Structure 1
Amino acid sequence: MGDVLVLGIGNPLRGDDGVGTAVISTLQHMPLSPNVELVDGGTAGLEIVLLLQKYQRVVVVDAADMGLLPGEWRRFGGDTAVLTTNTDKLNGTLHNAGFAEALALAEALDVLPDELVVFGVQPQRVDWVEGLSEEVETAVLPVCQAILAEF
């Protein structure tokens, strides 16, 4: 079992949904402890479960609609890091499963890491457009600094 995984989630072709990927890209140019692994999870679904079970600590970064101003971000840990699944999105198939569904499966299989932290960044737009909005782009460095403070 590895020590720490920082996992960026999202689709960079869907505007601000790509913030997780942008954070991982930025962290790759920063000094990190050798026990930290960076993974761009992109739009991975249930395969995230395979990653989660390999690490003691997992830090996840994703766009999250929290009703905040675009670019505002929050850190969630412990029980607050477990998200609600959207069964309507699944439509009877697991092909549309995302991060919340992967977490629910990992919990059911009892393979959640010892510590799970989620950084959610409020998106402005998640339509088919490349690049982050100015507000979310501005949040990338502070989120990276907050992640570095975790270790």
Structure 2
Amino acid sequence: MAPSVLVVGFGNPLMGDDGVGLLVIELLKELGVAPHVRLAEGGTDATVLAGLWQGEERVVLVDALVRGSPPGTIHRLSAEEVLQLPQPHRGVHALSLPECLRWVLLAKPELAKATVELFGVEPRQLEPGQGLTPEVKAAAQQLARQLLQELAPAP
């Protein structure tokens, strides 16, 4: 039996390429994932992961991730690598993804037994406006196909 998987897309579709995680979830729904894969939208608050996780053995997070690469670049990071990401503080009421993951691991220590990773897509623009730039939309489509293959049960 294939290990259970939770895929959570994060982002804000009103902030341009920040909506990439939500688009990947939408595309995976359209493509049809295997029964052992559960899809969820996390919105803009990664602390919801604590309530979304139901004991899955693998957790895949999808979000926009600024690393200075060309727009549309897909980054794959382990939980340990996510926790090492720089954590800009834009306001006192919002936590960065690394801070949220750290908080969720404290709140749900059993989550540390799961394999957690982030697929981050390098954005071109994170300004108000709907729709993804062409290179980020193409990366979302590529990532959805990659995840569909990767998460398929072994024959």
TM normalised by structure 2 equals 0.84
Q: 3-state SS of the aligned residue for 2:32?
A: coil
Equivalent position of 2:104 in the other structure: 106
Equivalent position of 2:17 in the other structure: 16
C-alpha distance 78-150 of structure 1, shift in aligned 2 (>3 A): farther
C-alpha distance 87-129 of structure 1, shift in aligned 2 (>3 A): closer
CA distance in 2, matches of 1:128, 1:22: 17
CA distance in 2, matches of 1:68, 1:13: 23
State the Cα deviation string for residues 99-140 of structure 1 (Å, max 9, x = none): 322201122342435101210100000000100001101111
CA RMSD of aligned residues (A): 2.1
Unaligned stretches of 5+ in structure 1? none
Whether the aligned pair in 1 keeps the contact of 2:83 and 2:98 (CA below 8 Å) is yes
Whether the aligned pair in 2 keeps the contact of 1:57 and 1:116 (CA below 8 Å) is yes
C-alpha distance 42-83 of structure 1, shift in aligned 2 (>3 A): farther
Q: If each structure's helix is expressed as a fraction of its own residues, which one has the higher value?
A: 2
Whether the aligned pair in 1 keeps the contact of 2:40 and 2:52 (CA below 8 Å) is no
What pairs with 1:69-88 in structure 2 (closer than 5 Å)? 69-77=70-78, 79-84=80-85, 86=87, 88=89
Unaligned stretches of 5+ in structure 2? none
C-alpha distance 45-104 of structure 1, shift in aligned 2 (>3 A): same
CA distance in 1, matches of 2:117, 2:100: 15
C-alpha distance 45-74 of structure 1, shift in aligned 2 (>3 A): closer
What pairs with 1:40-55 in structure 2 (closer than 5 Å)? 40-52=41-53, 54-55=55-56
Following TM superposition, where does structure 1 have runs of at least 4 consecutive aligned residues deviating by more than 4 angstroms? Answer: none
